Structure 1
Amino acid sequence: MASFSELTTPYLLLDPVVMQRNIDFLQQRMEKLGVQLRPHVKTAKSLQVAQRIFNGGHGPITVSTLKEAEYFAEHGYTDITYAVGISPDKLARVARLNRADVTVRVLLDSVTQAEQVMAWAVREQVKIPVLIEIDCDGERAGLRENDPKIVEIAKILAKNDLFSGMLMHAGGSYHCPSKAAKEAAAEHERATAVAVRDRLQAAGLECPIVSVGSTPTAYFAKDLSGVTEVRAGVYVFQDLVMAGIHVCQLKDIAISVVATVIGHRPDKGWIMTDAGWMALSRDRGTANQEIDQGYGVVCAMDGTPYSDLIVTSTSQEHGIVALRKGSKAKLPQLEVGSKVRILPNHACATASQFDGYVVPDADQLAFWPRINGW
């Protein structure tokens, strides 16, 4: 691959050492808590990253698109949870994978979906294992803990041995800056999951999979008894949202967008770069946090953040870099042609803007492709 000086910006830089440190940390934590980790590959969407997560092994994994499921299945990953509510138009692709000895579980939270999956499975004579989605904190899809439809749906699925268990995502943990709040979110997630499992068992239904997960709760859970697996994804790269709620530090963020300075507006205190929202994404996940990081924190090429320097606004191909409001720092002297690294608000969103990762490998550069689309 070309040298750094020959690369066209913007590009996505991945630090493999930082990434591996993040991978090892959570794996060791889950081992101490006695729970299997089912990484969510939606963040990286890269075979090379997955190989490092599993040290050359093949899963289990969580995916957010069927394109991910098909891609990873082609490369030997046969234990897959598709963690987005299923719709009838996607069942043919799910069935195709399950017929090829790849276990792809689907997710649902309604009687209608359960009946659709059941009818398809019976008609096509294929087993499609199903998880029921539970909402533990009002953040997203799913049935609430005491909803009688949980048992009703499980009974519908169990008639043809399609019921595999339940799944939940503690999305509210992304709004928990304090350690105590994250610990409480993790315990609430666990307790809710176990309570649902107990209700199902009381109704005579086995619930073999009790799946919970988010990066904040995975990092701050103190007890995971009753849980069979934890899902997390952004932990592999980390990002400014995670740093903003004190899950990680800036030094733990493994990806950054490399941009070139293309101009200045001294009258406005702006430095212009070639990384707009097409490179950084529109994600403003830190806007409601204690520190608003704009569209990203600006760093020198060695990864050292410039004091109070952020991307304050973007257009399609332009990024405006300036000091955050109220700062007393001095704007750094960055000449046209200078390179900077920009730490992302949301690793998943920023990575999705690129076809792959530029990865320093010893004295060489490697390119690790990723997949996008559905």
Structure 2
Amino acid sequence: MTNHSALPTPSALIDEKKMSCNIDRMQRRIAELGPRFRPHVKTSKCLEVVQRQLAAGAQGITVSTLKEAENFFAAGIDDILYAVCLAPNKIEQAASLIDRGCRLTVVVDSAAAAGMISARKTPLGKTFRTMIEVDTDGHRSGIRPQSEELLEIGKILAGGIAELAGVMTHAGSSYDVDTLEALQEIAEQERRLCVLAAERLRGAGYDCPEVSIGSTPTALSARSLEGVTEVRAGVYVFFDLVMKNVGVCGIDDIALSVATTVIGHQPEKGWAIVDAGWMAMSRDRGTQKQKKDYGYGAVCDISGAVIPGFMLASANQEHGILAAENGIAAQDIARIFPIGTQLRILPNHACATGAQFPEYRTINNDGSTAVWERFHGW
């Protein structure tokens, strides 16, 4: 990247070469295992990024907000899974998308929510394609695949206006381990239990065509996806320090960083003060509970090379405190990082850090930069 001193800070930077390698790696991996790949675009919320994922072979997208669905549909992407249980106050927004031609799939995880959907048609008389969220690891939402409520939901959807599109799950517990063996075990549990839910529905006489699973760690670790029709993953497109600690990427694979400038020092404390605080990095401290704690982020020079021994140790709203990882005060901190020095900080959680910015500055393969807009809102 040229003319570093002119770079506004803080800025969210995408290394296009690294991002492209990440996209290709995931697409090849899922193609080898057989299912379709439907990326979760909440990580980037950026059309240019998603266009590259689709060009690599992805089929459809996953979103976390209806605002994302609106924006991507307006850009011509019409196969969209809204992977958050549909709230009553969002039914009309979802119905409008469907009536305009979006092949939107919604999600429920309770009989109450299924009843709400099954009794509805869109204003133009179209139906809601609906997936049942299955809890395969106790991580968050969904219903247990062995539960009677699963069949009750199937009955409600089959007996109403809605279309039962299938079952889906997210193995979020994969973020809590850091060995290949543990990741493979969680990946197989995710696959087996989601397939079990589909088989129970089919055994009860209900159509259940789709089995959708996914997280970045399990997608990259699964040994078999038998019975699975599609895989979803999101953070792989950028990766981050949590994923590095989990073991599914190296630190050099992380494609998102935050450019920042040194604005001051506290030499007696061994601190350099930068203009990227938690408003730039987010408050996500996901590495805090892992074996390697990176504070608010790992420190790189402006070209992206990691500077060993330092991290963004703490942060206020607009101030970041860069310090030695071992806590030992570096009395020559002002010499190491003079005022005006521009750096990059690698994030703990790419999704959360990206969300702090209205746009990305993308570093192209030839060293030039481009500005890519990022979607916001719900």
Q: TM-score, normalised by structure 2?
A: 0.95
Tell me the equivalent position of 1:207.
208
For 2:145, the equivalent position in structure 1 comes to 145
CA contact (8 A) 2:270 2:329 kept: no
Q: Which residue of 2 aligns with 1:119?
A: 119
- Partners of 2:374 and 2:123 in 1: CA distance: 35
Which residue does the alignment assign to 1:333?
336
Look up the match of 1:324.
325
Equivalent residues of 2:61, 2:80 under 8 A apart = yes
Distance 1:293 1:30 in 2: 30
Deviation track 1:162-198 (CA, whole Å, cap 9, x = no partner) reads 2111110000000110110000000000000111111
Map of 1:309 onto structure 2: 310
Match of 1:96 in 2: 96
Per-residue Cα deviation, 1:118-147 (whole angstroms, up to 9, x for no partner) = 222278623111100111111100101211
Is residue 38–residue 58 contact of structure 2 (8 Å, CA) maintained in 1? no
SS of corresponding position for 2:265:
strand
Query: How many Å separate the matches in 2 of 1:355 and 1:258?
Result: 14
Residue in structure 2 matched with residue 175 of structure 1 by the alignment:
176
Distance 1:161 1:91, change over 3 A: closer
Residue in 1 aligned with 2:376? 372
Aligned pairs for 1:34-183 within 5 A: 34-55=34-55, 59-121=59-121, 125-159=125-159, 160-183=161-184
The aligned amino acid for 2:369 is: L
Counterpart in the other structure of 2:223 = 222
Task: State the Cα distance separating 1:364 from its structure 2 match.
Answer: 2.7
* Inter-CA distance 54–308: structure 2 relative to 1 (3 Å threshold): same
Quote the offset at 1:360 in angstroms.
2.2
Instruction: Give the corresponding residue for 1:32.
Output: 32
Question: Structure 1 residue 55: deviation in Å?
Answer: 1.5
1:57–1:213 distance in 2 versus 1, CA, 3 Å: closer
When structure 1 is superposed on structure 2, of 51-60 and 20-29 the one drifting more is 51-60
Equivalent pair of 1:239/1:343 in contact (CA under 8 Å): yes
Kindly report the root-mean-square deviation, in angstroms, between the aligned alpha carbons of the 2 structures.
1.8
- Report sequence identity in percent: 47
8 Å CA contact 2:99–2:123 kept in 1: the answer is: no
Q: Is the 8 A contact 1:108 1:133 kept in 2?
A: yes
Q: How many angstroms apart in 2 are the aligned matches of 1:39 and 1:308?
A: 35
Structure 2 gap segments, 5+ residues each: none
> Is the contact made by 1:58 and 1:77 (CA closer than 8 Å) also made in structure 2?
no
Match of 1:265 in 2: 266
TM-score where L is the length of structure 1: 0.96
Counterpart CA distance in 2 for 1:8 and 1:230 is 37
Q: How far did 1:219 drift?
A: 0.4
Q: How many Å separate the matches in 2 of 1:87 and 1:270?
A: 46
Deviation for aligned residue 1:155: 1.2
Q: Distance in 1 between matches of 2:291 and 2:18?
A: 25
Counterpart Cα distance in 1 of 2:314 and 2:349: 16
Select which of 346, 365, 374 maps to 1:343. Answer: 346
Count of residues paired in the alignment: 374
User: Residues 41 and 239 of structure 1: is their aligned pair in 2 closer, same or farther, counting only changes over 3 Å?
Assistant: same
Letter in 2 for 1:333: I
Q: Does the C-alpha gap of structure 1 residues 56 and 307 become closer, same or farther in structure 2, counting only changes over 3 Å?
A: closer
Distance 2:308 2:41 in 1: 33
Deviations 1:319-357 (A, max 9, x none): 001011356988571100000100000000000000111
Does the C-alpha gap of structure 1 residues 94 and 220 become closer, same or farther in structure 2, counting only changes over 3 Å?
Answer: same
